[in-house]
Structure 1
């Protein structure tokens, strides 16, 4: 298969980061005003065309980031739990936080109707997500995700996701040990070919 350019972009500032740690208990946090402005700035940094593909986490703040960034552009927007929140590093004693709960497909269809929902890849992930998967299971899914992206037959794929998820994929692709110090800031990005 040909090489593909992945551009991982962290969502804009979310309400769950404004009053830590209490705000992490906030279910379904949206973007803040600052997060909205950050998403608008992506239009200049990464101008999109109808040929582009956005792969988006099924969480409100990532969906809002992608919607604002791609406003007026009829590109392919695909929502999948394979880029949903993921704890990094993994700890089997930790639980998922309310701010990282995956939105129901019905909500996504209703509120983000221009997005396509990916039902083809591992249906149960829409319920369980990838947040607490052991690393070996995540690595199997990461390999499948990369192959799936390559089957889109595009030169590049933009992925709007979360700090822990992006760092997990970076570590998987580069085979280098990373830490929380490698997390991207809001709307920060990381580009890699694979």
Structure 2
């Protein structure tokens, strides 16, 4: 099975760093919307595809725009929500990386499924500051669940630190922040 990790389009939280990181629930910028539209040609979807999406507005918007008019399966999961890389257990999640309320997701994106296999504490706290051993346990379970979808490819719309954390865990390579993907770049890895 191939996992195709895609970083979300440009978000409002990246326009004036570090102060913009304090924005709660940032949306895509105009550029981010255009980047998401470009994904339609770069990675065309079909009705048979599956996208797993982080429960953060910028990733939900990216997936929604990219998959517009395609009736593929879209699953929202906190197991691909923001994650610090490298992990710093003494840091807290930034306001821009807080998971949005499930009711908001259900109301704004009614065709998106909610991953019901994930414990409620992960829905509220996310994976951003989980100790590495706890993240690896959840990530391994996530990959098993992806394999159970019985697809050749599973697309995952997520965040730079999260993607790099999964890449490092799956490949066994030691990665750094220099390995972060750019906005709407993607990385494909075999599991």
What is the TM-score normalised by the length of structure 1?
Answer: 0.97
Matches within 5 A, 1:56-67: 56-67=53-64
Once the 2 structures are TM-superposed, how far is the Cα of residue 124 of structure 1 from its aligned partner? 1.5
Structure 1 segments unaligned to the other structure (5+ residues): none
Once the 2 structures are TM-superposed, how far is the Cα of residue 114 of structure 1 from its aligned partner? 1.2
Number of the residue aligned with 1:132: 129
Number of the residue aligned with 1:98: 95
User: Is 2:141 the counterpart of 1:144?
Assistant: yes
Number of the residue aligned with 1:164: 161
Hey, what's the Cα distance between the residues in 2 that align with 1:127 and 1:187?
Answer: 26
Number of the residue aligned with 2:46: 49
Once the 2 structures are TM-superposed, how far is the Cα of residue 123 of structure 1 from its aligned partner? 2.3
Hey, what's the Cα distance between the residues in 1 that align with 2:181 and 2:155?
Answer: 15
User: Is 2:65 the counterpart of 1:68?
Assistant: yes
Secondary structure of the 2:90 match is coil
User: Is 2:13 the counterpart of 1:25?
Assistant: no
Structure 1 residue ranges (4+ consecutive) displaced by more than 6 angstroms after TM superposition: none
Once the 2 structures are TM-superposed, how far is the Cα of residue 121 of structure 1 from its aligned partner? 2.0
Secondary structure of the 1:124 match is helix
* 1:122-157 deviation per Cα after TM superposition (whole angstroms, max 9, x unaligned): 222101100000111100011000000001111110
**CA RMSD after TM alignment:** 0.5
User: Is 2:107 the counterpart of 1:110?
Assistant: yes
Once the 2 structures are TM-superposed, how far is the Cα of residue 46 of structure 1 from its aligned partner? 0.5
Hey, what's the Cα distance between the residues in 2 that align with 1:191 and 1:38?
Answer: 19
Hey, what's the Cα distance between the residues in 2 that align with 1:156 and 1:34?
Answer: 27
User: Is 2:150 the counterpart of 1:153?
Assistant: yes
| Among candidates 170, 174, 180, match of residue 173 of structure 1 | 170
Number of the residue aligned with 1:89: 86
Number of paired residues?
A: 191
Once the 2 structures are TM-superposed, how far is the Cα of residue 80 of structure 1 from its aligned partner? 0.4
Once the 2 structures are TM-superposed, how far is the Cα of residue 120 of structure 1 from its aligned partner? 1.6
What is the TM-score normalised by the length of structure 2?
Answer: 0.99
Number of the residue aligned with 1:191: 188
| Among candidates 5, 8, 11, match of residue 5 of structure 2 | 8
* 1:57-109 deviation per Cα after TM superposition (whole angstroms, max 9, x unaligned): 00000000000000000000000000000000011111100000001110000
Hey, what's the Cα distance between the residues in 1 that align with 2:149 and 2:172?
Answer: 24
